[in-house]
Chains A and B, each alone.
Chain A
Amino acid sequence: NAGVTQTPKFQVLKTGQSMTLQCAQDMNHEYMSWYRQDPGMGLRLIHYSVGAGITDQGEVPNGYNVSRSTTEDFPLRLLSAAPSQTSVYFCASRIGRAVAEAFFGQGTRLTVV
């Protein structure tokens, strides 16, 4: 019963490098989303998807890219890392009903130097 799995748990990048944060869920959830968590800012939505092949921007999408080729996977790409992207990133999934709870991964702590 894996739920939502995020990899890696920790990552250090140099400014300008690119990388992909992986997110996979095994609950057949339609909706998936990426958040970043910064001190005093709570959770801010980066991108979300309501199904395979469908993605949309959230509150803070700049510098990030996503795709959803399968129901299970929703990777987040940092195109050219910047120190402002130092944060903790969470992936979440849920079924496509407003009453449904979201299930979160354990997070990826990213530091950009």
Chain B
Amino acid sequence: AQSVTQLGSHVSVSEGALVLLRCNYSSSVPPYLFWYVQYPNQGLQLLLKYTSAATLVKGINGFEAEFKKSETSFHLTKPSAHMSDAAEYFCAVSAGGSYIPTFGRGTSLIVHP
């Protein structure tokens, strides 16, 4: 069985501030982890993914995430928020033998000028 919990349905930051979006997972086997971004009125697109090659994963638009097995976490960060980062962010987990990834409920990132 696999599951994902995203802490905080909304996160609000000022432009230029650190972005931290939290994701904790549960999986009975080594997981693959993903972050997707959804801009208004669009579908989801991949931001980055963890495939066990490296615990720190860099994605598009300056985002990165660190896999911490001991904490069962895969938090998404960006050093300096930009107005264009305002979007919905989804964490997802996929593990061997599962046909379909499990998505978290999403976190809406609000960026203030």
From B36, B45, B94, contact of A98 by CB (8 A): B94
- Indicate the member of A41, A48, A58, A101 with the most B CB atoms within 10 Å: A101
From A42, A50, A107, contact of B90 by CB (8 A): A42
Interface residues on B, range: 20 to 34
Write out the residue numbers on chain B whose beta carbons fall within 8 Å of the beta carbon of A43.
Answer: 44, 90, 103, 106
Q: Does A104 contact B (CB under 8 A)?
A: yes
Write out the residue numbers on chain B whose beta carbons fall within 8 Å of the beta carbon of A101.
Answer: 34, 46, 49
CA–CA, A106 to B49, complex, Å? 21
Q: Is there an interface contact between B105 and A42, defined as CB atoms closer than 8 Å?
A: yes
Q: Is there an interface contact between B105 and A106, defined as CB atoms closer than 8 Å?
A: no
From A90, A98, A106, contact of B32 by CB (8 A): A98
Q: Does A45 contact B (CB under 8 A)?
A: yes
Q: Does A33 contact B (CB under 8 A)?
A: yes
Minimum distance in angstroms from B43 CB to a CB of chain A: 4
CA–CA, A42 to B90, complex, Å? 8
Q: Does A99 contact B (CB under 8 A)?
A: yes
Write out the residue numbers on chain B whose beta carbons fall within 8 Å of the beta carbon of A56.
Answer: 99
Chain A stretch 36-63: residues in CB contact (< 8 A) with chain B: 40-43, 45, 48, 50, 56, 58
Q: Is there an interface contact between B34 and A31, defined as CB atoms closer than 8 Å?
A: no
Interface residues on A, range: 20 to 34
Q: Is there an interface contact between A48 and B43, defined as CB atoms closer than 8 Å?
A: no
CA–CA, A15 to B101, complex, Å? 32
Q: Does A113 contact B (CB under 8 A)?
A: no
9 pairs of A and B residues whose beta carbons are closest in the complex: A42-B105, A104-B43, A98-B94, A104-B44, A43-B103, A101-B46, A42-B106, A99-B32, A106-B43
Query: Which residues does B use to contact A, with CB under 8 Å?
Result: 9, 32, 34, 36, 41-46, 49, 51, 90, 92, 94-101, 103-106
Known interface pairs A42-B106, A43-B90, A107-B41; 13 further A-B residue pairs with C-beta atoms within 8 A, sorted by A's residue number: A33-B100, A42-B90, A42-B103, A45-B100, A48-B99, A50-B99, A98-B94, A98-B98, A98-B101, A99-B49, A102-B92, A102-B101, A104-B44
